[in-house]
Chain A
Amino acid sequence: DAGITQSPRHKVTETGTPVTLRCHQTENHRYMYWYRQDPGHGLRLIHYSYGVKDTDKGEVSDGYSVSRSKTEDFLLTLESATSSQTSVYFCAIAGLNYGYTFGSGTRLTVV
């Protein structure tokens, strides 16, 4: 009953390469979010979307871009990966008064 899936689950990439993470939902929720989770910092918002082609920056958006061309898909792109972007990335969806549902996470390692 996932309702939300992230891909890939794990990725190792080299410094300087572009990387795209995908979040796919089947719930038709309007709001989608990308967070990163790091020890000592907890979860922090990278970017979010409140509809197709409507996106906005979060707390830690530098070095990241997003796109949402369809309701069900929200893509996070690291334009040129750096070691500081090694993290676990979580996608989340939300509907008004429905709370949040989180994806299983993507563990990204930049070497």
Chain B
Amino acid sequence: KNEVEQSPQNLTAQEGEFITINCSYSVGISALHWLQQHPGGGIVSLFMLSSGKKKHGRLIATINIQEKHSSLHITASHPRDSAVYICAVEPGGGADGLTFGKGTHLIIQP
């Protein structure tokens, strides 16, 4: 069973700061996902990564397959970025569902 660890668990920052959330996993994967969940809200897929780096607006996600590690960065953070960010991994070779980290609760203060 893949163990997915996220850090930090909680993060409070000021508007405009550069944010980094880390995710590490224990077993090889076929893909890694970053998800966003606003309080009381649904879950939105931000990125699916199998290698390298992806960018969407102010969000950047990177993955290092050899080190079994991924990071999610938010540039020029804004209060609307306040949410729980969840890392999830797909096992290699199948579609047997995701294994999730416990999430990082991010608060951006104005």
Contacts and interface: CB of A to CB of B under 8 A. Distances in A.
A66 B99 CA distance: 20
A24 B101 CA distance: 26
Interface of B is mostly: strand
A42 B97 contact: no
With a 10 A CB-CB cut-off, give which of B35, B48, B98, B101 has the most chain A CB atoms.
Answer: B98
Interface string A80-91: 000000000010
A101 B101 contact: no
Contacts of B97: 33, 35, 45, 48, 58
Contacts of A105: 42-43
Interface residues of B, number: 18
A5 to B, nearest CB: 11
Interface in B68-110: 86, 88, 95-103
Interface of A: 30-31, 33, 35, 40-45, 48, 50, 56, 58, 90, 92, 94, 96, 99-105
21 contacts: A31-B95, A33-B97, A33-B98, A40-B102, A42-B86, A43-B98, A43-B100, A44-B100, A45-B97, A45-B98, A48-B96, A50-B95, A56-B96, A90-B43, A92-B98, A100-B45, A100-B48, A100-B98, A101-B45, A102-B42, A105-B42
Given A30-B95, A42-B101, A102-B35, 12 more contacts: A33-B97, A43-B86, A48-B95, A90-B42, A92-B43, A99-B48, A100-B33, A100-B45, A100-B48, A100-B98, A102-B42, A102-B43
